Chains A and B, each alone.
Chain A
Amino acid sequence: MDYIYAYVLEGDTEGVVKGVKRALQDGIEPAVIIDCLINSMAEVGVRMKNGDMFVPEVLASAEAMKEGLQIVKPLLSGENYSQGKIVIGTVAGDLHDIGKNLVAMLLESAGFDVVDLGIDVPAEKFMAAIEEHQPAIVGLSALLTTTMETMKKTVGAIIARYPSIRVIVGGAPVSQEFADSINAHGYAPDAASAADLAKRLIN
Chain B
Amino acid sequence: MILVGEKINTSLKGITEAVRSRDREFIARKAVEQAENGAHYIDVNCGTLIDEEVEALPWLVQVVQEAVDKPCCIDSPNPLALSAALRVHKGKPMINSITAEKERYDSIIKLVQEYNAAIVALVMDDEHGMPKDAPTRIKVGVRLIADLVQAGVALDDIYIDPLIQPISTDSNMALVAVDTIRGIREVYPGVHFMCGLSNVSFGLPRRGLLNRTFLVMCMLAGLDGAILDPGNREMMSMIYAAEALLNRDAYLKNYLKAYRSGLLD
A contact residues vs B (CB 8 Å cutoff): 51, 54-56, 59, 95-96, 98, 101-102, 119-120, 144-146, 148-149, 172-173, 175, 178
Contacts and interface: CB of A to CB of B under 8 A. Distances in A.
Contacts of A145: 47-48, 50, 53, 76-78
Closest 5 CB pairs between A and B? A145-B47, A55-B203, A55-B168, A95-B129, A146-B77
7 contacts: A54-B203, A54-B205, A56-B169, A96-B130, A98-B165, A101-B169, A148-B50
Interface in B177-218: 202-205
B95 to A, nearest CB: 15
Given A51-B205, A95-B124, A172 B166 contact: no
Contact of B202 (A55, A120, A173): A55
B78 A56 contact: no
Nearest to A152: B50
A54 B203 CA distance: 6
B113 interface: no
Contact of A149 (B50, B129, B166): B50
Contact of A102 (B78, B169, B204): B169
A56 B47 contact: no
B172 interface: no
Nearest to B173: A98
A141 to B, nearest CB: 14
Given A146-B78, A173-B11, A98 B47 contact: no
Nearest to B199: A98
A102 B170 CA distance: 11
A54 B166 CA distance: 12
Contact of A119 (B76, B77, B129, B168): B129
B130 A56 contact: no
Contacts of A95: 124, 129-130
Contacts of A98: 165-166, 169, 202
A64 B124 CA distance: 33
A95 B186 CA distance: 28
A33 B174 CA distance: 38
B215 to A, nearest CB: 21
Question: What is the interface residue range for chain B against chain A?
Answer: 20 to 34
Interface of B: 11, 47-48, 50, 53, 76-78, 124, 129-130, 165-166, 168-169, 171, 202-205
Given A95-B129, A101-B169, 17 more contacts: A51-B205, A54-B203, A55-B166, A55-B169, A55-B203, A55-B204, A56-B169, A59-B168, A102-B169, A120-B129, A145-B50, A145-B53, A145-B76, A145-B78, A146-B47, A146-B77, A175-B48
Nearest to A105: B169
* Interface core residue of A101, A145, A178 (most chain B CB under 10 Å): A145
Contacts of B166: 55, 98
Contact of A172 (B11, B50, B53, B169): B11
Contacts of A55: 166, 168-169, 202-204
Contacts of B76: 145
Nearest to A59: B169
The interface centre, meaning the residue of B47, B168, B205 with most chain A CB atoms within 10 A of its CB, is: B168
Nearest to B99: A95
A59 B165 CA distance: 16
A144 B202 CA distance: 17
Nearest to B101: A95
A173 B203 contact: no
Nearest to B166: A98
Given A51-B205, A95-B124, A173 B129 contact: no
A90 to B, nearest CB: 11
Nearest to B11: A173
Contacts of A146: 47, 77-78
B204 A173 contact: no
Contacts of A54: 168, 203-205
Given A56-B203, A95-B129, A173 B47 contact: yes
A98 B165 CA distance: 9
Contacts of A119: 129
B108 to A, nearest CB: 12
